[in-house]
């Protein structure tokens, strides 16, 4: 099992502004993306770390980061509090 798959023991938080987040909604509820696939441009992020998506000081998404694929896309889920729109304008 690779170090990426194991995680590092101490979780870190990746904070991203919504306008800078490249993502696609994989699951949605009431127009909000609850599971997303997003471009991960930070090699220090591991499975089990937390993705925090902000719009200024507003928290729009707070979820644990799951697998990262070979193309640099990661998955995260916030099934109870996501406010990220499932479709981009």
d(CA 2, CA 21): 26
pLDDT, one tens digit per residue, over 76-89 is 999 999 999 987 64
Residue 88: predicted pLDDT: 63
The predicted-structure confidence for 26-83, as pLDDT tens digits, reads as follows 999 999 999 999 999 888 888 999 999 999 999 999 999 999 998 999 999 999 999 9
Per-residue confidence at 9, pLDDT binned at 50, 70, 90? low
**Number of H-type helices and E-type strands within the chain:** 1, 6
Prediction pTM value: 0.84
pLDDT over 70, % of the chain? 88
């Amino acid at each position: 099992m690779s170090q990426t798959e194991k995680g590092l023991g101490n979780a870190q938080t990746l904070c991203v502004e919504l306008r800078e987040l490249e993502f696609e909604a994989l699951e949605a509820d009431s127009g909000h993306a609850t599971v997303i696939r997003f471009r991960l441009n930070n090699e220090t992020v591991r499975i089990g770390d937390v993705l925090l998506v902000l719009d200024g000081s507003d928290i729009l998404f707070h979820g644990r980061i799951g697998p990262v694929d070979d193309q640099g896309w990661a998955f995260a889920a916030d099934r109870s509090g996501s406010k990220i729109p499932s479709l981009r304008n």
